[in-house]
Amino acid sequence: MSNRWRQRLQRLDAFNKMETVYQDHSSSGGLLSLLVVLAMVMVVVSELKRYLEYKQEQSFSIDSNMQHPLQINIGMIVAMPCALIRVDVLDVSGTSQNVHSAIDLMPVLSKTAFGNVHSFKTINSIEDMHVHDIMAKAKGRHRHKAASLPGGLERAKRIDRLEDAACYIQGSVMVGKVSGLLHVTASGHGHSGAFVPYRMLNFTHHIDELSFGPLYPNLVNPLDNTLHLSSEHFSAFSYFATVVPTTYIDPNLNVLQTNQFAVNEYYRSRADNYDLETKPPGIFFEYHIEPIAITIHEKRDGLLSIVVRICAATSGIFATAGIFHQLVTLLMRTRSSSRSKSTGISSLRTDSAFSVGILGTSMHEK
């Protein structure tokens, strides 16, 4: 760039400036300048916080995927040998489905399995999460795993015959997208098979995973990591889940389709006059599919809009402060001028009276 153009740029000034000789510096102006700077900083910080915040917009619609199958994912430990347990699904149409082909029953030692449960929570105790956090967790590849069984199938069978045997139930099963019941019961109780004596029943269990739809192991659901203790052999745990198809959309327009659900728990035992004819002892997950789907779209204000708001707010503060300072200065000058006039009139009256007094004294002497 030539020196001539550089000099022109240096002389270019789009903002008129007042000559220093015409500027009037005052303590009130300095104080107001500090207040203006503080207000501008507060506005900038507030707008930046607003920019970093996420907003969620929710919309409801009729679920258009009711004809598609629903995947149920389960991972739980039951304090009974696997040989005594059966898992079944019964939907509202009366269709019964044995799910042993889709779900694995793995023998584990009860002390080992439940001993690894260091902490657990109550049902529905889920913290609110942002959509982008949910989608980040959904991308994780971690999966729940049962305790390892060195020695293979034979060792697993030996463990299953021990008195301290427990069973890890894990897998995913496809069912019709209608209301239904997934239940874990003992052989011979409610189904055919060798009858299991009551003294061998123990439906104490720890749920690692219960979800509906595609499996996202890192997403936390209402029953995940919950421990449920049976007070006696003859007892039943019932869970009533309301499932809502949910679509998450993050600010980058990435889409995640899953299902939310809320659950209520009900425990019954012989002490509660439990009726064997109505429902056998076991663990029952009753689910109801809502026909309404929810879409949660997470948005964030654009950077340009934040910059425009900051410029508008700071300019408004600066202009308002200038007007306020001019008004205060004008009022102070008006008040000062009024005082000066009042003082001048009082002095004039005093001088006139003094002159009249001198004149009267002189005439009296004559």
Q: Please, are residues 85 and 210 in contact by the beta-carbon 8 Å criterion?
A: no
Measured between alpha carbons, how far is 348 from 354 in angstroms, rounded to an integer? 10
pLDDT digit string, tens, across residues 191-244: 555 567 777 888 889 999 999 998 888 888 899 888 888 878 888 899 999 999
C-alpha triplet 212, 216, 224: angle, nearest 5°? 70
pLDDT higher than 80, residue 87: yes
pLDDT of residue 340: 65
C-alpha 178/C-alpha 195 separation (Å) is 31
Q: Is 291 exposed, middle or buried (0-12, 13-18, 19+ CB in 10 A)?
A: exposed
Q: What is the mean pLDDT of the chain?
A: 76
Q: Is the pTM of this model over 0.85?
A: no
Q: Give yes or no for residue 344 having a pLDDT over 80.
A: no
**Percentages helix, strand, coil for the chain, rounded to the nearest 5?**
35, 30, 35
Is the pLDDT at 84 greater than 60, yes or no? yes
- Return the minimum-mean-pLDDT range out of 122-136, 179-193, 258-272: 122-136
DSSP code for 147: P
DSSP annotation string for 177-221: SS-EEEEEEETTSSSSSSPPPGGG----EEEEEEEESS--TTS--
pLDDT beyond 60 at 118 = no
* Paired tokens of 277: 């004819």
